[in-house]
Amino acid sequence: MSHAIVWEFLVPEAQRVAFEAAYGPDGPWALLFRQAPGFLEVKLLRSQESAERYLTIDRWESNTAFENFKSQFAREYQALDRQLEGLASSELRVGAFDDLPSAG
């Protein structure tokens, strides 16, 4: 079972290229996350209905792995968050989700 953190962003047209580079699977967020045990992947999704709307899905092996990352990399996380501030006009943490076990 894996654990996912989902964020929603609204991104002005002028910031979309920079946002996609920063929040995509090869951007600085993913590079930071990759330093932590238990990180699986970052997915960046853009809405078909509204080009300014994006979702990120940060997947971890478990909530414990994510919590350990937050403790170990708190300073780096905060510095990167400040550095990339302003790329999105709105940022909302949708929530934390766990995979359901397969039926059968």
What domain count does the chain have?
A: 1
Mark the ranges of the chain whose per-residue pLDDT is less than 70.
Answer: 104
In a domain, 42, yes or no: yes
Give the domain range for residue 77. 3-92
Is 101 among the domain residues? no
Tell me if the pTM is above 0.75. yes
- Residue 35 falls inside a structural domain: yes
Which pLDDT score is estimated for 104?
64
Q: Is residue 104 part of a domain?
A: no
- The pLDDT score that the predictor gives to residue 27 is 96
DSSP letters for 34-87: TTSTTEEEEEEEE-SS-TTEEEEEEEES-HHHHHHHHHHTHHHHHHHHHHTTTS
Residue 102: per-residue pLDDT: 78
Cβ–Cβ < 8 Å for 9, 91: yes
Query: Does 102 fall in a domain?
Result: no
